Amino acid sequence: MIRIVIAEDSSTARQLLVAILSSDLELCVVGEAKNGIEAVELTKQLKPDLVTMDIQMPLLDGLEATRRIMIESPTPIVIVSSLDAREVSATMHALNAGALAVLSRPRGPLDPHFEGKARQFLVTLKAMAQLKIVRRWPKPVGPVETLVSSTPMRLVAIAASTGGPAALRHLLAELPPTFAPPILVVQHIADGFAQGLADWLNTIGSLRVKVAQHGERLRPHTVYLAPDDQHLAVWDGAVRLDDDPPIAGFRPSGTHLFHAVAAEYGVGGVGIILSGMGQDGVHGLAELRDRGGTVIAQDAASSEIFGMPGAAVAAGVVDHVLALNGIAPYLIARARSS
């Protein structure tokens, strides 16, 4: 039985969440919090397997409640949010503070897609509840110059899922304004949050971050995020978006992106696989490496979830396994040597 605390100030929304969770015999709602203070206290008292966290709450908001829980009683937290602009921004900060994922707040049974969305909601919560929360402290990074190839680096492609937003924030913050190669990113995140993620990432570092648009030319010093429910690729130096079927359940897919980079850039492409659940990206990275490109995986010690990078390592398609705070120094050194 998976024990869950629901933190939600709206009684209507809270009742809906209780009804959805109670429909699954593997889940049990053990506590309901109407504000952030109650969420922190109930988490300490009840020691649940998971907390669903609203963002806009009285007395203590969901962001601060997440921060306190992760310090006082680390527990898997899933943000359940609307697409209100204030909530999207706070949700990104909550992910950086240790929340595992963000899910769109379910609509009521009158929504024609309610049953399917409710099922997916439950599947995600059960997956998140199985994860062990470990405090991760950055370790000193050794010299990376010995790993760096002199082959010109023309483009960087990144795929990430659970734990990815915080990892992306750290990585991009470490890249200087002189870092020229375009960066394309597939980040698995709830529909409606891609623009919020781009806005949030734009508040740090010196590179421009934007949601990719079909047909736009790739420019230096720019990071392109895959939009909601569209595959991201590159062709003839421009962004290519398409609605091809999901790959292993994902659209956008890291594998789709890496396949395109392998075909377009070959030895000039660098593929990076960051924290995330599952195996998305592995097949695309294999092709990129076969074409002479370089593949980097975030290491287990710095990954929130070592699923995606671990799958790439196990498949033998990775050139370098680096701590999160070692990836930017590698890219900087590689760009300098190109």
Q: Would you name the residues annotated as active-site residues?
A: 161, 188, 280
For 145, which DSSP code? G
Cβ atoms of 311 and 126 within 8 Å: the answer is no
- Nearest CA among 45, 13, 7, 9 for reference residue 29: 7
- Nearest CA among 185, 190, 214 for reference residue 202: 185
User: Is there a cis peptide before residue 252, judged by omega within 30 degrees of 0?
Assistant: yes
Distance CA 84, CA 82 (A): 6
Which tokens sit at 262? 């392998």
* Angle of helix 254-265 versus helix 282-290 axis, rounded to 10: 10
Distance CA 140, CA 230 (A): 38
DSSP per-residue letters across 223-283: EEEPPTT-EEEEETTEEEEE-PPPBTTBSS-HHHHHHHHHHHHGGGEEEEE-S-SS-TTHH
Distance CA 54, CA 123 (A): 19
Which tokens sit at 253? 């897919």
